Structure 1
């Protein structure tokens, strides 16, 4: 593995010689690589910060902007930017989850890193009793379960952890979490979900917590009785950008020793930088070409349909004219037969 390039190393390296004396086009030089890294970090952060309540219809545009950047190299920056932005703007969690789902369908390794990061974040917040981060993290995980980015087993594990050693905050957090993704869990893991509701009923029976927790549990039981119809997994179809056959689901457990790979968030000198950049450029062209082809297929499909409709109209009009021709021929032959009979009688 290449050594970590710190700021002190870089300043020491550059101090004897002015940067202007370096060949900025030399892709093996630290000066070139660190400048492209800074640009990559700034661009990814700027694009993620554009996400807001009006981003539902613009997620694909945001993806196209991200594809212009090397997301493989910047996957650590991407994950950190999304998690940081979601913490500061939790009301847009569903939009962030849709973005992660779309990126995951294109770059499996980016989605895999993101899942490891968010599970690590949950475990960290739980140990530190960081309630705001804990609430926002489980909310994000719930939407990722609904988007099928992560398997529902992690949701069952989170609910079990929250309810095994409950506090009023943990109980209400578990209720909010289950309201978000309960419909999906009921479809994929009904037996395990039944055990979670046993824990809720036990807490309700013991009555150890305040009226707020009791009220929320009763409301959750009422929602479950109606099969989560009020809170379906796919509440916003316009954010379901990935076809079912293209969805990639990660399986992870709280019991795993998770490495969040924070080293990917900082600059490292890459001896194969030029080759890796060229590889990503080829991948990017293929992705954009495939997207353009699908758009062209849709357009050609609509053109074919319109052509078929016009041909159908022409065919129907042709049938009418042929029938008219046949009727005119039959009337002409009838008139000629009548005239022949008159001549014979005369």
Structure 2
């Protein structure tokens, strides 16, 4: 039988029992990994449950360690060791939860999502669905803290070109079409974050948004505080958003040709696929694991080869000092976990078959 990629990544649920659903309590790694080693039948549901718990705990732990740009590359490398295809729901939930707790690191989280998206299109696609769904939900409930943090995150995802800038224009239009003091201030903060990028990619549509701001300023409906914020925004625009760059240099981790941009609209009926956050029995589990191992070797193969070269080099004594210097100068640092294999990887091919809209920039 010929097995296609769509067969390999078939994540249909197979009616998990009540006991399976109870496996959602955090278990420390030293406790969760030990039972896995005692299960010899890797095709059994019990093995799938234990590996799922370990995957969930490890992804959550790694995401909770994201705080600055200094450890971001290590975080990415650790994540790639895990099956992010199987755990994409956990990844999205963990990142959104952490960003909500630490909105000051929104640009760091967006850089992390950009790197993962460049390697695994389906993970990035799910993340964009989740965060747009979160915005719509927060706006409908008038949840002001969640709304502000969500638009801040979306702004940086626009800057990283993970999602197309048209969603930013739609969000600004929604916030300003029925303006309130809070919606206007939220729109101002949102535009300060991503205005530099929008000015480059959608200047005409951005011009229309500033017309709305000028109309609100002219009507003087919301007091001096709102007027001051709009005037400051207009001054920032006049200076071409100097001092408010789209992406900080240390967070520009994805090559331009590897960036994958998702197109989504607020008018779409979005399915956040929350069923991916819980355990589902996978009939193709063993095949999926082997498939991901192959992808991981493509993504981290350079690191493994570099480590192997260093180990072999330590055991061999060179008689000629000049040759040793040449060997040392020829080593390549592989501290960056990014990879240009994303466009050739099987996961990318799968996303072209099953994924929604995609635009290469």
Q: TM-score, normalised by structure 1?
A: 0.79
Partner of 1:174: 187
Partner of 1:327: none
Partner of 2:329: 303
How far did 1:25 drift?
A: 2.4
CA contact (8 A) 1:57 1:238 kept: no
- Structure 1 residues 134-173: aligned runs within 5 Å: 134-173=147-186
Partner of 1:283: 295
Q: Which residue of 250, 253, 269 corresponds with 1:257? A: 269
- Structure 1 residues 219-234: aligned runs within 5 Å: 219-234=232-247
Partner of 2:201: 188
CA contact (8 A) 1:4 1:267 kept: no
Partner of 1:266: 278
Distance 1:260 1:304 in 2: 47
CA contact (8 A) 1:28 1:270 kept: no
Unaligned runs of 5+ in 2: 1-11, 23-34, 310-324, 332-361
- Structure 1 residues 310-325: aligned runs within 5 Å: none
Where 2:266 maps in the other structure, the secondary structure is coil
Distance 2:183 2:326 in 1: 54
CA distance 1:78–1:183, change in 2 (3 Å): same
Distance 1:300 1:98 in 2: 35
How far did 1:64 drift?
A: 1.0
Where 1:178 maps in the other structure, the secondary structure is helix
Q: Quick check: which has more Rg, 1 or 2?
A: 1
Higher relative contact order (CA 8 A, sep 6+): 2
CA distance 1:10–1:103, change in 2 (3 Å): closer
Q: TM-score, normalised by structure 2?
A: 0.76
Q: How many residues are treated as equivalent by the alignment? A: 290
Distance 1:132 1:301 in 2: 55
- Structure 1 residues 100-119: aligned runs within 5 Å: 100-119=113-132
Distance 1:9 1:27 in 2: 17
Distance 1:184 1:168 in 2: 25
Partner of 1:84: 97
Distance 1:302 1:35 in 2: 43
Q: Which residue of 14, 23, 35 corresponds with 1:3? A: 14
What CA deviation, in whole Å up to 9, does each residue of 1:173-223 have, x standing for no partner?
A: 000000000010000000000000010011111111121111100000111
Q: Which residue of 232, 247, 267 corresponds with 2:259? A: 247
What CA deviation, in whole Å up to 9, does each residue of 1:222-260 have, x standing for no partner?
A: 1111111121212x2011111111111111111111111
Where 2:70 maps in the other structure, the secondary structure is helix
CA contact (8 A) 1:105 1:246 kept: yes
CA contact (8 A) 2:194 2:246 kept: yes
CA contact (8 A) 2:130 2:272 kept: yes
Distance 2:242 2:267 in 1: 32
What CA deviation, in whole Å up to 9, does each residue of 1:147-194 have, x standing for no partner?
A: 111110000000000000111000000000000000100000000000
How far did 1:3 drift?
A: 2.6
CA distance 1:241–1:191, change in 2 (3 Å): same
CA distance 1:213–1:4, change in 2 (3 Å): farther
Where 1:249 maps in the other structure, the secondary structure is strand
